Amino acid sequence: MATNRRERQREATKTEIRDAARAQLTAGGPNSISLRAIARDMGLTAAALYRYYDSLDALVEDLCADRYDALTTEVLAARENGATPLDQLREACRAYRRWALRNPHEYALICGEPVIGTVHDHVESNPKGDAAMRFTLAFLEPFTAVWHARTTPPQPLVPGVAEALSGPNVETLRQALPIEGVAFFLIGWTRLSGAITMEIFGHLRWATDDTEPLFEQNLEDMLRQLTL
């Protein structure tokens, strides 16, 4: 390749920028990431960074997808620690929480406020959304195995759920699970993410300092309900 060396250089610089941004994120949270500070750390001008990213927002979004993937990698690795699918699922959930506790600011970046009506035309590439989906799917395989080992039929669905879960992106789930399983999976994912988010964001600190037993209780309740 002719341009290969050039492009490798470019990619290396981009990585250096992301690393500098990550250092600021770890130190002071998402809002304290600053282009000028990154440039200062790297020994160049703020304007130079615009050769690599269109804006601060674009850089932050890239960083967000990057961190999402780091989390996904760790969750996938934790699955190996379980002998049965149920254990794999439990270990994946615990790894998720541990990562969030270890990297609270990165978790805040991942989980915090898009909020807006950013309808995001699904045509354009959406690296953050893709990373979010990859992460969610890291739980799907063991969940599916546990689900199919259920002994009793699931509770009937509330009217409207089946119709709501018919979008193009749930196809991956529908291939692996019946509609009741898809609903359970999404609700469970909401429950897991919600529990961790509440904990990281400090919304449980008024009640207790030692939040781990409560998480374990929550997790076991969830898994018991899943296995019936």
Partner DNA sequence: TGGCAAAGTAAACGGCGTTAACTCTAATAA
Partner DNA sequence: TTATTAGAGTTAACGCCGTTTACTTTGCCA
Q: What track of x and - describes contact with its own copies for positions 178 through 217 (by CB under 8 A)?
A: -----x--xx--xx-xxx-xxxxxxxxxxxxxxxxxx-xx
Residue keyed to tokens 């009506």:
117
Please, which of residues 130-159 interact with its own copies by CB under 8 A? 132-133, 136, 155, 157-159
**In terms of DSSP H, where are the helices of the chain?**
4-28, 35-42, 56-79, 85-102, 104-111, 127-137, 140-148, 161-164, 171-176, 179-200, 212-227
Measured in residues, the chain has a length of: 228
Q: At what angle do helices 140-148 and 212-227 cross, to 10 degrees?
A: 50
Give the shortest CB-26-to-its own copies separation in angstroms: 12
- Residue 48 or residue 77: which is nearer to DNA going by CB? 48
Give the shortest CB-106-to-its own copies separation in angstroms: 10
* C-alpha span between 130 and 136 (Å, rounded): 10
Binder among 23, 30, 86, 223 for its own copies (CB under 8 A):
30
Give the shortest CB-140-to-DNA separation in angstroms: 36
- Residue 2 or residue 115: which is nearer to its own copies going by CB? 115
